Structure 1
Amino acid sequence: MSRPCAGPHAGPMTTANPAAVQVSGLTKTYGAGVTALDDVDVTFPRHRFTAIMGPSGSGKSTLMHCAAGLDRPTRGTVLVGDTDITTWSDDQLTRLRRDRIGFVFQAFNLLPTLSALENITLPFDLAGRPVDQDVVDRVVDTIGLRERLSHRPAELSGGQQQRVACARALVTGPEVVFADEPTGALDSRASAELLGFLRRGVDELGQTVVLVTHDPAAAAFADQVLFLADGRLVGSLQQPTAATVLDRMKSLELTTVRSGGTR
């Protein structure tokens, strides 16, 4: 599979602050000396699609959770825009996740009693904000489910449900959308449709997307891929293709086996 064509945001960054999220010296330990992240420095640029990959146990999801304010690092800083969130209270982090960050997980997390449209606009209701109908219409047209908006999740396919979940994450215009293995429960066709939607979210809606995945074909939709091993950043790849990502992953896994496995 060749890498999908990048959109209008694929050129050089010109904004004064190109980082949507920047982590520095990020370390996360659990229990008695279990290190999930070990002094990681990573920048997630604005208006870019970044994929995070690595062998099992490499720290991919831990990095995403710390960067998104879902978990607290043991050491280091996490800047969302220009704000270090590592010192924020739980209430402040809750507001951050509600107002400035979007999430898409493998489980669709749709409310079964609400229609697709009501699930998409739910973040506006939770924040007590009026629905921005122009933005909703634009996102709905991007996901291509306008004729299914009145249907409840049980009446939608898995791929359609996940596209609704993505629309919900994008509709408030968050500073960054974090997606943790969002295609894990989908077949190859539905996965490609979902990833194409995230790609258009970057190219057409100006969003920033960070994707955790184990799938080289999924990573090929990104502008850059970051590779982790044993809790450390061990490389990156620009303008990836499924083939180049697969080659890098094979090399990483071989190195991991030779060194005795991941933590």
Structure 2
Amino acid sequence: MTTVATTPDEISGADAGGYAARALGVTKRYGADDATVVALDDVTLGLPGGHFTAIMGPSGSGKSTLMHCLAGLDRVTAGQIHIGDIEITQLSDKVLTRLRRDRIGFIFQSFNLIPTLTALENITLPLDIGGRKPQQAWLDRLIDTVGLRNRLHHRPGELSGGQQQRVACARALASQPDIVFADEPTGNLDSRSGAELLSFLRDSVTSGGHTVVMVTHDPIAAAHADDVVFLNDGRIVETMADPTADRVLERMKNFEPMTAPAPVGDR
């Protein structure tokens, strides 16, 4: 399985097990009656395992909402979400929390590190909460890959923004999750740190076999992905394989302005 899928027949048949995450007819609404906002409108999407997918679209297009629903951070109004072979839509909060901890990694734009913990303690935090010990060989490889060997005992306040984001990346991958979601991971980084982070994510897919899904507004960042999924007005409008920065930028220029501002942040 080498590319994203956007039709029910593609992602609900015999080969569905090759997808790390699937959305089937997903709709997400906020508010009620005349104040209802449709953030996602009947979205169907299959994300292959061992693949790097970027999700793009104008502000209010639904890209962040889609990621949050796929990662189990937000509940859908209708439709189904699957992580691997598990449908998460109907799981209880307790079971869903455990699944996110054990099978999903998440990289936040704002890092979300615990200020009183060292870099190493932040990296192993999800494992510690779950009562699991890290595989030392994998942890060592991860630490060396992100270049944090000499900063492990420093707290977040003693690290640069790029170093903090590398800690966040290592934390997301420490448990060797089935899938890693990255929400604008380079948004708070300078160009050099951003390039290093994107190279790390690319290598984690190419060499490590991980699955990465990244929301971004940056065509250069999207060019590191295998595929780009474009959203507009809560719907998937196009996919692009083997993207380049120039092709992505040209496609983004063609989006028509939203008819009205979205009242729910970036949705």
TM-score using structure 2 length? 0.89
2:75 corresponds to which residue? 72
One-letter code aligned to 1:31:
G
CA contact (8 A) 1:229 1:256 kept: no
The 5 A counterparts of 1:167-246 are: 167-246=170-249
Distance 1:91 1:216 in 2: 37
3-state SS in 2 of match to 1:107:
coil
- Take 1:145 and 1:200, find their aligned partners in 2: how far apart are those partners? 17
1:143 counterpart (142, 146, 155):
146
Separation in structure 2 between the aligned mates of residue 66 and residue 222 of structure 1, nearest angstrom:
21
- CA distance in structure 1 between the partners assigned to 2:88 and 2:64 by the alignment: 18
Aligned equivalent of 2:17: 17
2:20 counterpart letter in structure 1: A
Per-residue CA deviations over 1:124-158 (Å, capped at 9, x if unaligned) read 11100122111101111211221221221111110
Give runs of ≥4 in structure 1 deviating > 3 Å: none
Structure 1 unaligned regions, length at least 5: 1-8
Per-residue deviation, 1:80: 0.8
SS in 2 for 1:164: helix
Q: Provide the residue aligned with 2:163 in structure 1.
A: 160
Partner of 1:87, secondary structure, is coil
Name the structure 2 match of 1:30: 30
For these two proteins, the number of residue pairs brought into alignment is 249
Contact 1:202 1:208 in 2 (8 A): yes
- SS at structure 1 position matched to 2:82: strand
Deviation larger for 200-209 or 65-74: 200-209
Identity %: 62
Q: 2:6 corresponds to which residue?
A: none
- Provide the C-alpha distance between the structure 1 equivalents of 2:216 and 2:17, rounded to a whole number of angstroms: 27
What is the root-mean-square deviation of aligned Cα atoms in Å?
Answer: 1.8
The alpha carbon displacement at 1:10 in A equals 7.5
Q: Give the equivalent residue in structure 1 for 2:7.
A: none
Matched, 1:53 2:60: no
Partner of 2:11: none
Quote how far apart the aligned CAs of 1:17 are: 2.3
TM-score (norm: length of structure 1) = 0.90
